[in-house]
C-alpha cells in the first residue's frame, strides 16, 4: 500500500509532473493525462507500490480515493484505517522505510 512518503521518490523522478502532492489530502496523486508511461516511478518506489498496466501503458497507483479510501471502508475488520498520522506511526514508517532500503540495496 502506498505510504504517500514525505519525500516521495516516485514524485521526484517523474519527468512530466504526473505525480504530485494533493493539497487537501496530502497524498501523492497521479494524473493520467500527464503520464507518458516511462516507468521511472515504478523503479523509484522503494516499496513496490506503483504498478504498470500493460493494457493502458500507464501506471496504477493509490490516490487515497480523494480522501475517502474505499479499502478502509470495505475492510470488515478495520484492519485498514484512515486517520491522522501521529509521531508513533511516523516513527514506525521511518523504521520500515529504513529496512526496505537495506533490503533494496542488498538485492540491487
Ligand atoms: S508510490 Fe512509493 S515512493 Fe511513491 S509515495 Fe507511494 S510509497 Fe512513496
Ligand atoms: S510512468 Fe508516468 S507517473 Fe511514472 S514517472 Fe513516468 S510519467 Fe511519471
Ligand atoms: S482503495 Fe483507494 S485508498 Fe485504498 S489502496 Fe486503493 S486507491 Fe488507495
* Residue 3 within any structural domain of the chain: no
Sign of CA dihedral 53, 59, 62, 68: negative
Tens-place pLDDT, residues 53-89: 999 999 999 999 988 999 999 999 999 988 877 788 7
Question: What is the extent of the structural domain holding 62?
Answer: 9-107
* Residue 29 within any structural domain of the chain: yes
Tens-place pLDDT, residues 2-22: 989 888 999 999 999 999 999
Domain harbouring 63, CATH code: 3.30.70.20
Cβ–ligand 2 contact at 39 (below 6 Å)? yes
* Residue 65 within any structural domain of the chain: yes
- What's the domain count of the chain? 1
Residues 6+ apart with CB under 8 A from 58: 32, 35, 37, 52
Cβ–ligand 1 contact at 42 (below 6 Å)? no
Is 45:13 a contact under the CB 8 Å cutoff? no
pTM of this structure: 0.81
Amino acid at each position: 500500500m502506498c505510504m504517500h512518503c514525505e519525500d516521495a521518490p516516485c514524485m521526484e523522478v517523474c519527468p512530466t509532473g504526473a505525480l504530485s502532492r494533493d493539497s487537501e489530502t496530502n497524498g501523492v496523486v497521479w494524473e493520467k493525462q500527464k503520464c507518458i508511461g516511462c516507468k521511472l516511478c515504478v523503479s523509484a518506489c522503494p516499496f513496490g507500490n506503483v504498478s504498470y498496466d500493460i493494457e493502458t501503458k500507464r501506471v496504477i497507483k493509490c490516490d487515497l480515493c480523494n480522501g475517502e479510501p474505499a479499502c478502509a471502508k470495505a475492510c470488515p475488520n478495520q484492519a485498514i484505517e484512515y486517520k491522522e498520522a501521529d509521531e508513533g506511526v511516523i516513527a514506525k514508517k521511518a523504521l520500515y522505510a529504513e529496512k526496505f532500503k537495506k533490503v533494496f540495496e542488498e538485492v540491487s
